[in-house]
Structure 1
């Protein structure tokens, strides 16, 4: 296992362990985080763990033209009960992602240190959010890292039925219009699969990342 020093360096993602760990340690400075994402690596760890840097052997991604929007979701969107904004309440979004209770998860991997690190990336224009509002209340959203041709989704939350789906669909449509190659969803889950995301091999993801 590779242990990071103060130097801004990561071993190649292809050298990850079988479960996908590339390295341990280091820090969450903007420079190190951006270097990680540009090399197909992301941090994922619990509050009482050292920083773990991952690049799983299979990557969950969504190609924008493969987005699936059900008829019921189209009806919800057309009813206009939600308002969607982009990047106007980043700290509120990431704080909600940290605090929201999730089925089968006793805690959160979004540590206070991580909140501050990503808020700094937002200040630098590298981390962005999508907000969903209902009756002027923030009821859903997501955030991630914008690489210019790939958006690396980090987390989402929902306080109203379908609010996180609304955020996801709005983001994908914006990415498609801007010519992005894909939305990186990192690891598999059924919720994302229902929206059209699928797994591709790490090698294929890294090839797209380097375009």
Structure 2
């Protein structure tokens, strides 16, 4: 690398550099090294930082500016997709097949990418976070078949989306919309979507400046969390409900 970034202290409890120190190019690169222990990962998310690196690289930590964010009442589905959902038999659940969702996200080809950043090390780290009740998946089923999903990390009342996949066209959109609907019903207002892309913008994501994002983040991660697996509290959402009006929106 032609630039110098902070090397993290070996202790999992060591603080991260301030996010304001992140590079402008590449946008958001803040630090390198450390590990993917639960303590370090949760500390990272709590401060608006996430790991993102490829096989063969050191662990890289990021906090981009602007930051992509979904309001839970702001996920946009096209009119055509909503029409399809009205007759859909899909059902949406949470935390029933977390490992399968993560594996599917790692294996799904991405336009413009070779390989995956969801390495075996990353998968193991998020499985451990899930076991501890911090990482969650939302899954879309057609009968017993998994057709889409999304996973991420919850800290306080903030959800940090990591990745989503479709095995059938529209599966990831239904997972995202189902996640947003479920969080909205709990009074959670935001989903972090990390890095800007045209696809996320088309689904209703907004680009927030770092100061705005961090102010909202600090407020929400300090709120009481929802403990344990989400399966029972989330319940089962028939995908056809996503074609209708959303639940009452939380206030931001």
- Aligned match of 2:241: none
1:61 equivalent to 2:69? Answer: yes
TM-score (structure 2 length as normaliser)? 0.81
Aligned residues: 211
Matched with 1:79 is 87
* Per-residue deviation, 1:89: 0.4
Offset, 1:83 = 1.5
Give the structure 2 partner of residue 117 of structure 1. Answer: 125
User: Partners of 2:29 and 2:195 in 1: how far apart?
Assistant: 13
Query: Which residue matches 2:232?
Result: none
5 Å-filtered alignment, 1:84-99, equals: 84-99=92-107
1:104 matched to 2:104? The reply is: no
**Structure 1 residue aligned with 2:202:** 194
Alpha-carbon separation, structure 2, partners of 1:148 and 1:84: 23
State whether structure 2 residue 23 is matched by structure 1 residue 17: yes
Note the aligned Cα RMSD (angstroms). 1.1
Q: Residue 41 of structure 1 corresponds to which residue in structure 2?
A: 49
- Which has the larger share of strand? 1
Check whether the contact 1:56–1:187 (CA below 8 A) recurs between aligned residues. yes
- Shift of residue 63, structure 1, vs aligned partner: 1.1
Residue 12 (structure 1) shift: 1.1
- The whole-number CA distance in structure 2 between the counterparts of 1:210 and 1:72 is 37
TM-score (norm 1): 0.96
CA distance in 2, matches of 1:43, 1:92: 21
Cα distance in 2, alignment partners of residues 158 and 185 from structure 1: 17
8 A contact 1:46–1:111 mirrored in 2: yes
Aligned with 2:8 (options 1, 4, 7) = 4
Instruction: Structure 2: give runs of 5+ residues left out of the alignment.
Output: 220-252
Answer with 1 or 2: which has the greater Rg. 2
d(CA) in 2 for partners of 1:66 and 1:135? Answer: 28
Gaps spanning 5+ residues in structure 1: where?
none
- Structure 1 residue 171 and structure 2 residue 175: aligned? no
